[in-house]
Amino acid sequence: MRAMRDIAINRIMTTDPVTVSPEDSVAAAKLLFESQAIHHLPVVEEGVLVGILSSADLFKLHTLRERPAALEAVKVRQIMEADPVTLDVFADLVDVARKLSEGGFHALPVVEADNVLVGIVTSSDLINHVLMQVPRGDGSLRDKALPEAGSRVSDAEISSTMHAAKEAAKGDRQDPASRALLHLAEQNRLLKAVSKAAELYMRSGHGEHEHSVLVKTLADLQRFSND
């Protein structure tokens, strides 16, 4: 397996990502999330990164989600994450894994000089790459380092690869790529649980039981982040 320090970020990042302007409406951003099946939108002005918007940020406006006219009045700049954590275009996969695992977020804009946006990398991009590098249960590797665009790793392959990653992370070997995969997979699971709990809480009309579930999932995520 190639060392993660030897693999440049441009191997896994998405170039020319879908973006929004800070003056775009939240309604327009919501349509992009839904139509493009993405969860993060870099916010740019004349090519320069000024923020990032995630689908989770729309939870801030949960009382307006069924009111399109109200969403039209809210600008992206009002709910975006300004001055987001970024990656330099010359970063490697160790930099990606460290920033994703330490930061508690799922996407990192990639910038060059003067904060000009050149791409975006997500935890899914890193997980998919590591999946390609960790041997299957029979010890074989995939023919290609990265999946073809639009392809999907099967549930059986994921299960087999995760088992192999757990074995590779044990004992004296302590394979760093396998440990990064396991960490990000658990972080992804916990974040999905929080997102689901938040959605159920809002749909219930702020029910007491749903609130308790949300608090527990947030506590689980906090404990994991602090370990």
pLDDT tens, residue by residue, 147-183: 444 445 556 666 666 677 777 667 665 666 677 777 7
State mean pLDDT over 17-41: 93
Most confidently predicted of 53-67, 76-90, 185-199: 76-90
C-alpha torsion sign, points 137, 150, 30, 44: positive
Q: What pTM value is reported for the model?
A: 0.63
Q: What is the pLDDT of residue 124?
A: 78
Looking at residue 23, its pLDDT comes to 97
Please tell me the distance from the alpha carbon of residue 130 to that of residue 107, in angstroms, as a whole number. Answer: 16
CATH fold group of domain 4-226? CBS-domain (3.10.580)
Between 86 and 58, the higher pLDDT residue = 86
Domain ranges of the chain: 4-226
**pLDDT tens profile 208-220:** 787 777 768 867 7
Residue 35's pLDDT is what? 93
Give me the pLDDT at residue 118, please: 96
Q: Tell me if 5 sits within 8 A of 92, measured CB to CB.
A: yes
Q: Is the pLDDT of residue 197 over 60?
A: yes
Residue 121 is encoded by which pair of tokens?
Answer: 């990398």
* Amino acid present at 78: Q
Amino acid sitting at position 100: L
Q: Supply the pLDDT for residue 88.
A: 93
pLDDT given for residue 136 in this prediction: 52
* Most distant CA atoms of the chain, gap in Å: 59
